[in-house]
Amino acid sequence: MGLLDKAAASGGEEGKPVAKAKPVAKAKPVAKAKAVKAKPVRAEKPVKAKKARAPRARPVGLAEDYELATNMNRRISWLVNFIINFGVLFAGLFIASSDTGIITTILFATSGGIIILNAVFIPMKFSRNLGQFVSRTKFVRGDGSNPLFLHGILENTKGLFALIGLISVATQFQKLTEADNTTAIVLFSMGTLFIIVWFVDRFLRNGSEMGQGLYDLLFGAYLVKYIPSEDEKATGVWARLENMGNFGDQLLKRQEERKAKKEEKASEAEEETNPQED
């Protein structure tokens, strides 16, 4: 029985169906990478080298080698220029108004020549006018170079233009009411403009720590004390103009002596009014 039972058991196992293996999925073909055509690189054009420009001097302040002109220097320069520029002119106006019969054309022509000489030609040649020679002053830029010649012309003629403007305003004011009188309007407007420019220059100069007026700010100029060095040889007319500075030095010396005397008197008066307590 034992052998029959084993044969029956083995026959039953063979009758069971065997599970079929699942088919393996076929691998999908990999897409071929497309060949990318490289674009030809263009050769860059060589950049032209720009010529280096020398930087212009743009001074912010005044160099340490220079000292600003004092108020006394400015007063001496103004007084000398006023006498030279307008002395002959006022003499001609006085003679013309007094009706003495004297021909004043020569005086007016002489006055105009002196003004042009002192305001234009001398500053263009020596960078200073007669008043600045006497006061030993000069206009310089922050780096010590001379400002543009237009600065000297505008600076030296602002007083003359202000005087012309005042005369124009005074003579054309009553003519403004006339109909179709464009000449009076133009002269009055120009005269007013000259006066305004003078007041603006004065206002800026008084409020500036460096004593710069309108034209000084535009051209970056400073009025400084100027004494020629030993290397600068003064000859001819220049030497004579430089000798005019001795007169200005004498005026400055007298002014300093008067100021010192006033300070001594003020200190003595304070000592007398406030005696020291024992």
Residues 125 and 240 in one domain: yes
pLDDT in tens, 201-259: 999 988 888 888 899 999 988 888 887 666 655 566 666 666 666 666 677 777 777 77
**179-207 b/e with 16+ CB inside 10 Å = b?**
eeeeebeebbebbeebbebbeebeebbee
Residues 124 and 192 in one domain: no
Q: pLDDT band for position 45 (50/70/90)? A: low
- Residue 119: how many CB atoms within 10 A of its CB? 24
- Residue 170 pLDDT > 80: yes
Residue 69 lies in a domain: yes
- For the record, the structure tokens of 9 come out as 């058991």
Interhelix angle 71-98/105-116, nearest 10 degrees:
160
| Residue 203: predicted pLDDT | 92
Residues 213 and 234 in one domain: no
Residues 84 and 156 in one domain: no
Residues 78 and 211 in one domain: no
- Count up the domains in the chain and report the number: 2
**22-61 b/e with 16+ CB inside 10 Å = b?**
eeeeeeeeeeeeeeeeeeeeeeeeeeeeeeeeeeeeeeee
- Residue 163 pLDDT > 90: no
Q: Which domain holds residue 67?
A: 60-147+220-245
Angstrom distance (rounded) from CA 171 to CA 175: 8
In 226-277, the DSSP E strands lie at: none
- Residue 266 pLDDT > 80: no
- Averaged pLDDT score across all residues of the chain: 74
Residue 241 lies in a domain: yes
Angstrom distance (rounded) from CA 213 to CA 155: 9
Angstrom distance (rounded) from CA 176 to CA 46: 69
Residue 3 lies in a domain: no
Residues 155 and 182 in one domain: yes
pLDDT in tens, 194-203: 999 999 999 9
- For the record, the structure tokens of 95 come out as 């003679």
Task: Kindly state the percentage of the chain with pLDDT values over 70.
Answer: 65
| Residue 123: predicted pLDDT | 85
- Residue 15 pLDDT > 50: no
| Residue 210: predicted pLDDT | 84
- Residue 128: how many CB atoms within 10 A of its CB? 23
Residues 142 and 154 in one domain: no
Residue 209 lies in a domain: yes
| Residue 190: predicted pLDDT | 92
pLDDT in tens, 48-93: 555 555 554 444 567 777 888 888 888 888 888 888 888 888 887 7
Confirm if 129 and 122 have CB atoms less than 8 A apart. yes
Residues 225 and 143 in one domain: yes
Residue 28 lies in a domain: no
Residues 86 and 139 in one domain: yes
